[in-house]
A and B are shown apart, each in its own frame.
Chain A
Amino acid sequence: MTNTVGTSGVSREELARHFDGELTGAEAHELAAQIDADPELQAELAQLGIIQGLVSETLMAKAEAVPQARFEQMWDEIDRTLDREAKASTASGAQPASFWSRMMEALRPVRWPLAGAAAAAAVALVVFSGGDDVGPDGANKADAVASAPQPDATAPTQDGATPKPAPTKAPKAAPPAGDMMAQAPDPEPADDMPKPKKVEAEIHGVEFSGHTGRISKTGTVTVLYLEEEAEPKDSERSL
């Protein structure tokens, strides 16, 4: 099978290259002369022109059919996006923008879970940082959280052993209001005021999907609520 047009011996590929302006000047000049002399080549060239015209005109017609309001709406969104990027760029020292903003954008779907994990970690850190008043068995006198205000007893021992609360510092019942006022100048918390005790807590599990997390085994239970964004959920494209 041949792939030439008419009797000229010009291939259709060559004709297409001519049509697309991909021939060199000399090649194009030579082929143009052949086309002038050959109706078959002219007809074939016309087909290329028709297809090009129909495709481009059809797609442009589809574009013209889109209401102008859609493009105006699009511009508004672009404008807002550029503003956001400009602000982010300024905030980051006018650097070429937006690696972090784009990262944040990309991480949007997991932002809440990450924030939740960070919050849980922070709570755990706070609780553990002062957790010296608990016996080695880990039994945490949860009720002592509000009833064992002993600053001295909270200091860790040199050997790292967890001290027991000093019995002599056991809290007393709250005095009458008048007595408390009389002791006012003392900047330190009054001995007879209930003071939170630093205790160790254990995290037994965090259920992000359930929006809850148990912090303490006995006694005080802290529940963290992590709310999901009601909407919108990002589409894949927006990532």
Chain B
Amino acid sequence: MVSTEADDQALVAACKAGDRRAFHALFQRYERKVYAVAYGFLRNQEDALDVTQEAFIKVHRYLPNFEGQSSFYTWLYRIVANLCIDHLRRAGRKKDVEFDDKLRHDGENDAAAARLPVSTLGDPSKAVRDKEILDAVEASLAELSEKHRMVIVMRELQGLSYADMAKEMNCSKGTIMSRLFHARRNMQKLLKQRLDHVPSGGDAAGGNSGGGKSGSSSNTDGSGSVTQEAAS
């Protein structure tokens, strides 16, 4: 189902008028996306399902207060992110936060060496059909620190702006920028390590997409040392 902002607004208006079927339609439209976000944060199916359910109940409860200043899905995803963060806090899963910088992407040349093969992974939707690649991505996500995983999920999946992410994580935009930068580099490095051992990876997908203007898969980047994220 293709969801458009206009559709969302119409459904939200109907929900506000007390139309439960409209709310059901919203639920069906976003159930899996919300779950995906929750799973990205929590890495546990049952926890993610619980948070998904809680999120929709909360959405319904606070829908009368939703004034449409942001899009519905941004609002919804922020609720989900909040619930996930609360869940993690309650669960006391803080041990890896303490090791935020333990996983470091060192060295300048490392940046180039860690480049992922565009020819293999250029079309991620095809690439993840390869279970080994999918497992590698999931394992890499799991290995990230909690903060890094949060920013990755909020940005890459939810598409939240830096400002929204800063609000969610109660920090500055600069911190978010830095955290996201390092999270991506760590993710890249972890993926590279894993995918080097995936023999079928090279056949998973063809294509050459990504950020848009790619075309080169050069590994000769000799510049760009990265600084470590300051305690964030």
Contacts and interface: CB of A to CB of B under 8 A. Distances in A.
B50 A35 contact: no
A200 to B, nearest CB: 49
B198 to A, nearest CB: 12
A17 B181 CA distance: 9
A62 B39 contact: yes
B52 interface: yes
Interface in B199-232: 208-218, 221, 223-227
A57 to B, nearest CB: 4
Contact of A22 (B31, B162, B211, B221): B162
Contacts of B181: 12-13, 16
Interface in B157-178: 157, 161-162, 177-178
A55 B225 contact: no
A4 B221 CA distance: 10
Contacts of A228: none
Nearest to A12: B224
A47 B37 CA distance: 22
Contact of B221 (A17, A43, A81, A96): A43
Contacts of B24: 75, 79
Contacts of B180: 16, 20
Interface in A38-60: 39-60
Given A3-B227, A45-B213, A98-B61, 14 more contacts: A2-B223, A35-B213, A41-B213, A43-B216, A46-B215, A50-B118, A52-B156, A56-B156, A60-B36, A64-B32, A71-B35, A75-B24, A82-B57, A236-B90
15 contacts: A22-B161, A42-B216, A46-B208, A50-B116, A50-B121, A52-B156, A53-B127, A58-B124, A59-B36, A60-B36, A60-B157, A66-B32, A74-B56, A97-B61, A237-B87
- Closest 5 pairs between A and B when the two form their complex, measured CB to CB: A49-B210, A1-B225, A46-B214, A53-B124, A49-B211
